[in-house]
Amino acid sequence: MIRVEEHHVVTITYELRDGNAAGEMMERMDANYPFTFLFGSGALLPEFEQNLYGLTERDSFEFILKAEDAYGEIEKGNILDIPRSVFQVDGVEPPNLLVKDNFVRLTDDEGNHHNGKILDFNDFKVKVDFNHVMAGKDLHFKGAILNIRKATVDELIRQHYIPEGA
């Protein structure tokens, strides 16, 4: 019987809820659109993988990842006031860009991209939260293992799942 472990490609269904089983649904991957990944590649939260380790096909799972084991707590240092002029392109602010709760992508001086959520703005500055959208949240996962197979050589070299025919 094949088990979830390193160097295996795993296909699962799950529901992700905020905090607990009764929390707001944040994401759903069902049998029509399952989630497939290379286990142990470092691309997923370590605690998420730890909760799946050793399961077999058709096993179900249910667990909560505390915020500190998921995307961390909200860091106040990641909430910044940015001059409104930064959002201009050739001296013009794009229409409908500065809207509360909009997500924006900014590039720093070293060329790194950062995604943030607009919290507030006025004529001079924009308050942007660059924390991960799930920071500060406990995450409740409930799902099932659909399939497990050994990874191909290409998947092991690339360190990620490669869909059939890709």
Counting the structural domains of the chain, the total is: 2
pLDDT in tens, 92-141: 998 989 999 999 999 988 999 999 999 999 999 999 999 999 999 999 99
- Alpha helices by DSSP H, 7-163: 46-52, 153-158
The pLDDT of residue 78 is 96
Any domain includes 144: yes
Statement to judge: residues 91 and 106 lie in one domain: yes
> What's this model's pTM, rounded to 2 decimal places?
0.84
Question: Are residues 131 and 13 in contact, defined by beta-carbon separation less than 8 angstroms?
Answer: no
CB neighbour list of residue 166: distance below 8 Å, 6 or more residues apart: none
Question: Are residues 65 and 116 in contact, defined by beta-carbon separation less than 8 angstroms?
Answer: no
Does pLDDT of 155 surpass 90? yes
Does pLDDT of 59 surpass 90? yes
Statement to judge: residues 58 and 98 lie in one domain: no
Question: In whole angstroms, what is the distance from residue 127 CA to residue 32 CA?
Answer: 39
Question: Are residues 133 and 16 in contact, defined by beta-carbon separation less than 8 angstroms?
Answer: no
Range of the domain at 93: 76-129
Does pLDDT of 91 surpass 90? no
Does pLDDT of 24 surpass 90? yes
